[in-house]
Structure formats: structure tokens, C-alpha cells
């Protein structure tokens, strides 16, 4: 397996220290990591789920809009940040591995390396429950 860019390694390391759920994807949209707070919300440890291609993770969590209508992959905040290289903030619904549906707020932003190299994107998200 080829070495990941140092910026993605550092993003993953930083995510491990944060207290809010974080997803890190590479330039192809492959989910490289989600942290412990995301594990609690999604119902499965990252070590069990492993890396996932965009076509898998973007449908695994059954994303919906706020009203519960299915959300196409291209409308997901992390996918928009990845493809359009711009920050995005949205409220969406997801269903974790345990079958629990939650409304979450998501803020996603692109990751760029030196010289503007497109490396991927990061999403921070949190449950709307109790807010």
C-alpha cells in the first residue's frame, strides 16, 4: 500500500485528539479514518469498519435531508467539499450501523497540500439531539 501524504497522516492524528466526530477522506473520496467520537455515534469502531470507498460510505449510513428524503451522494457535505474544494455546512440525517437514525450538523472542508495539491477533505459533525 503506498504511503499517504503527510498532511493526511497529520489530519488523522489531529482527529484522534478531538472530542467531536471527524471523518477524513483522501482525494478519491476513500474514507481513511473516523475518530472515537464518530465511532460512538456510528455504532462501530473504525478498526472494524476499515477504509471505505466513497460509493460505499456515502450509502452505508443512509443519508437523508432534514425531512427524511434520501440524499444523493453528490449532495453530501463531505462530497461537495471534496469535489468543489470549498467548505460546506448542512444538516442531514444518517443511520449508524446499529440502526439509530440521527439528525446531524456537518461542517466539511477540503484539504490541500503544498502547491495547492488536492489531498482530500475533512468533515466534523455532531448530533442535533439535545441542541
C-alpha to C-alpha distance for 18 and 36, rounded to whole angstroms: 9
Ordered by start, the domain boundaries in the chain are: 6-127
The per-residue pLDDT for range 26-52, each reduced to its tens digit, is: 999 999 999 999 999 999 999 999 999
The per-residue pLDDT for range 69-117, each reduced to its tens digit, is: 999 999 999 999 999 999 999 999 999 888 989 999 999 999 999 888 9
Q: What are phi and psi of 3, to 5 degrees?
A: -65, 135
Rg of the chain (C-alpha set): 14
Which class does domain 6-127 fall in? alpha beta
C-alpha to C-alpha distance for 117 and 7, rounded to whole angstroms: 11
Amino acid at each position: 500500500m503506498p504511503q499517504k501524504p503527510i498532511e493526511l497522516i497529520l489530519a488523522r492524528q489531529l482527529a484522534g485528539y478531538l472530542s467531536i466526530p471527524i471523518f477524513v477522506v483522501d482525494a478519491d473520496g476513500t474514507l481513511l479514518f473516523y475518530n472515537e467520537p464518530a465511532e460512538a455515534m456510528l455504532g462501530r469502531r473504525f478498526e472494524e469498519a476499515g477504509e471505505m470507498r466513497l460509493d460505499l460510505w456515502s450509502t452505508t449510513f443512509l443519508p437523508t435531508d432534514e425531512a427524511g428524503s434520501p440524499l444523493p451522494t453528490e449532495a453530501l457535505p463531505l462530497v461537495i467539499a471534496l469535489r468543489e474544494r470549498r467548505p460546506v455546512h448542512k444538516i442531514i440525517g444518517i443511520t449508524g450501523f446499529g440502526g439509530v437514525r440521527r439528525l446531524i450538523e456537518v461542517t466539511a472542508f477540503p484539504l490541500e497540500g503544498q502547491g495547492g495539491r488536492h489531498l482530500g477533505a475533512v468533515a466534523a459533525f455532531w448530533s442535533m439531539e439535545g441542541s
